[in-house]
Structures are given as structure tokens and as C-alpha cells.
Amino acid sequence: MRITIAVLLLAAAVPLSQTASAGQAGTRQTGPSQSVSTMSELMVKVIYPASDAIFYITTREPRTEAEWVELQGKALMVAESANLLMMPGRARDQDRWMADATLMLDAGRAAFRAAKAKDMGALDALNDQLYTSCTSCHQHYRPNYGRRPSPAATDAPSTPRTAEAPPDPPAKPAQTAKPTLEGRWKLRTAQDLRADGSVARLPWGEHPVGSIIVQHSACYVQIMSSDTPSFASDTATPGEQMKAMQLSSYIAYSGPCTINDADSSVTLKVDAAWQPNYLGTEQTRFFRFDNGALIFGPAPGSIRAGNEALTRRLTLDRVQ
């Protein structure tokens, strides 16, 4: 695909030269640049697919180095396609058309730089600039763009057009709401992970239960093991062993909290806790979102297990 598009760009933008036959090796014929495709084909087969990668960047965020390289190529195609729109034979005029194409060129060039830097914020910020360049061009050069034809216009015979109008661009994607920590989350799994990502232990057993609630700058955390046996029916009060088991299989604390979106963290000032030594402390936890789930826990490597540093990862699903 990349080779095909590269050939398309070169064929459309570079002046053609042709070497004479072996018997006429001393002569060379040159000609002006020539379009390979129609305007519609250039839009539909090159510009639209490449620009979609920028329009939908918030929902198609690159995850691997190969995906970032692919995005760089598409951003480069947007920029170079703007050059193709300005070449003789394609440019409608030297005024509005060139201004819209230049806006597209600037957006594509900036997107290429942002993709090389893996800067998601910069890529998202270019969405409006790129879309403006597309819609401005179509509003000025595509008849009846964005308007329903009147009945009279529908009945009237069509007027031959001397220049091919570009097709409508895809509708601008709706901006998806940014995930928020606010709300009620139900615990799915609780794991302590080694540096290689393998599970070292399950701190609340195989079937933990619990929830995290974040509402109006207040946080509440509660987790327990559902595998802890119930008190014996003939025991009036739990023994010391049962007390120790309850202490190690249950955790709860709450208090006012502050969310820092810059580093995806939340800091909770504990005013109530299952352990007295938690009272008055500040507990900072880090979070991210993965396909709608909340990944939550203390700083990586902050859990100690003998000589091993582990990372606690809680996975939760939104309840409301």
C-alpha cells in the first residue's frame, strides 16, 4: 500500500522525463507534470483515508512503534496531497483554492511532526484545522455543498460542468467524551505484578470484592476477600486468629480527594480507615482507562514482598 501511494505521489508531482531509444541516447524529451488520477480518485483513495487517521486519533491511538510509523506516513500523505492539489491542472485558481490547500499542507506537516514526537495532544488539536481546510474548499468549489437542492433545481436540466468538483468529505467524527474517574466502580480483579508483568500474588484471594466511589471531591475505597471463612456459629466473639485474618483480608478508607489529570493521579486525605495508622495520611493512587475499565493502584513497584518490588493493579468496571 505504501509503495503504491508513493508511486502515485511521485507520478503526479514530478515532471515526466523520457530517455530516447538506444539509437537516440543523446537526446532527451521532457514534458509538464501530468495528473494520474481524477480529483475524485485522489480524494477518495488517498486524502480521505489518510486524513481519517488524524480525525479519529482519539479513538485510534497508536499503541506500537509500527502503528506510530504508519501514522507518520498518513500524516505525510495529507501534507504531500496538498502539494498535489496546488499543481498546474488541479488548482482551480491562485486565490481561495491555494489558501485552502496551504491550510491543509500546514495541518499535514504539523501532524507529521506530532506523530514523530508521539504527541497525542498536538494531533488532537489539529483536528479542527484539517477539517476547516476540507470544508472551506468544498463550500467554495462544490456546487450546492451542504444544501438540499430545491424542487425547481431538481426538475431543471443539469448544466454541463467544465471542471470536476471534489466529492464531499467524510462527516467530522463526533468528539468522544473523555473518561472520568468520577462515579462508582466495582472491583473485577486485584493483582500484585512483577516487573515482567507476571502475577506474583493475589492480595485478596481469587475472588475479591469491593468498590471505589469518587463523587464531589470525596473518595471511598473498600476491598475484601470473599474467600474468608465465616465465624463459627458457636463462637460468641472471633478469636485472635480470626481477627488477624479479618485485618489482612479487608481494607477500607475514605476522605476528601483531589484528582490530578496531568499525571492521572488522585490524592485522598484519609479521615476514616480500617487501620488507625491510616488516619490523617495522604494516599496517592494512579489510574488509567483501558476499553472502559479502570486500572487503579499505588505507584509502580511500591508494594514490597520480601526482596521483590511489586506493582498492585486493581481492575474495576463502572457501575454508574
CA separation for the pair 313, 190 (Å, rounded): 6
Mean pLDDT on 104-124: 88
For the domain 2-18+30-149, what is the CATH code?
1.20.120
CA separation for the pair 69, 156 (Å, rounded): 50
Mean pLDDT on 219-229: 84
Other beta carbons within 10 angstroms of residue 136's beta carbon come to: 16
Every domain of the chain and the residues it spans: 2-18+30-149, 183-229+240-318
CA 265 to mean position of chain CA atoms: 19
Q: How confident is the model at residue 228 (pLDDT cuts 50, 70, 90)?
A: low
pLDDT of residue 163: 45
User: pTM for this one?
Assistant: 0.45
47-51, 127-131, 244-248: least confidently modelled range = 244-248
For residues 92 and 170, the model is more confident at 92
Fold exhibited by the domain 183-229+240-318: Lipocalin (2.40.128)
> pLDDT at residue 147 above 80?
no
C-alpha closest to that of 280 among 289, 271, 292: 271
pLDDT of residue 32: 63
pLDDT of residue 298: 93
* CA torsion through residues 298, 249, 222, 239, sign: negative
For residues 112 and 51, the model is more confident at 112
pLDDT of residue 173: 56
